[in-house]
Structures are given as C-alpha cells and as structure tokens.
Amino acid sequence: MATLKVNGSSVEIDGPGDTTLLWALRDMAGLTGTKYGCGAGLCGACTVHVDGVAEQSCMLTVDEVDGKEITTIEGLSSDGHHPVQEAWRDLHVPQCGFCQAGQIMQAASLLAQKPNPTDQEILEGMAGNICRCGCYERIVAAVRQAATGS
C-alpha cells in the first residue's frame, strides 16, 4: 500500500507499486477527471501535474510518484475558477470534451512555466495533447486569454 499526496491530501493506494498513476487515481482514489485515452503517452488525455509539471499519468507508476505532489483536474482549482478553466468556459472550447481535462492541465502547466507565451509557444507547449474534435484554434485562443486576461 502506498500513500500519495494528491490535490493537497494524502490518498491511500491499495495496489502494487507498478500500477500506473492513471489507474491509481481513477480506480483507487476515485478521481475520474483524469481520462484514459491511449495508454501509451501519446494523446495527453491523462495529463496531471507532478510537482507542478504536466505529465502523462499513464506513463508513471505509483512507485515513481511516491513523495511527489500530484494535482489532477479536480485539484486545479477548488472552485473551478483557475484562469485556464475560465477561459475554456468563456470561449466554449470543448466539443465532445473528452480530452479537455488533459488539455486544461497541460495549459495550466505551460502558463506556470511561461506566463505570456506566443502563439507558436502555445502550439509547441500543447503539441502532446490531441483533440479528436479539432478544437485547436479555440484551445490556443483560450490559452492566450488565460495568459493575458483578455
């Protein structure tokens, strides 16, 4: 059994250390905002923050994140008013919405590292997150809005 620090709280994970963080969060911690997409680290649907940096949770094991701070979409903002979440709502970014938790987590990490990115930096920073609906123009606009406030 492992104890992880998730969204500021200790969470008991009753499973082997080689369990992926994705399944530990979804199945053992009940945090289903983190989505399973490809399981191979290619789509970004499972993006969470590990010590403040965006990581694909399907590529990490419980043992690898032991002692690190994990933030999921549920913990990004206690009231849903992170600037990225507000921009997503303002610009009606999602179409189907499946990838959006991962997109938001990637965008929040990008802006924490680079508070005022250019459009090219946004495209590069978001490149690991795939949107099957093709909402990329709205995603870039929302990241830009979250960065600038307009």
| 1 has a pLDDT exceeding 90 | no
- pTM (two decimals): 0.95
Q: Smallest Cα–Cα separation from 118: which of 140, 102, 137, 133?
A: 140
User: In CATH terms, are 2-76 and 83-148 the same topology?
Assistant: no
Mean pLDDT for 83-89 is: 97
Q: Which CATH class is domain 83-148?
A: mainly alpha
pLDDT at 136: 95
Q: Mean pLDDT in the chain?
A: 96
pLDDT tens digits along 64-85: 999 999 999 999 999 999 999 9
pLDDT bin (cut points 50, 70, 90) of residue 114 is very high
The β-bridge partners of 70 are: 6, 50
Q: What is the pLDDT of residue 28?
A: 95
Instruction: Tell me which CATH homologous superfamily contains domain 2-76.
Output: Beta-grasp domain (3.10.20.30)
d(CA 94, CA 118): 22
- Domain locations in the chain as residue ranges: 2-76, 83-148
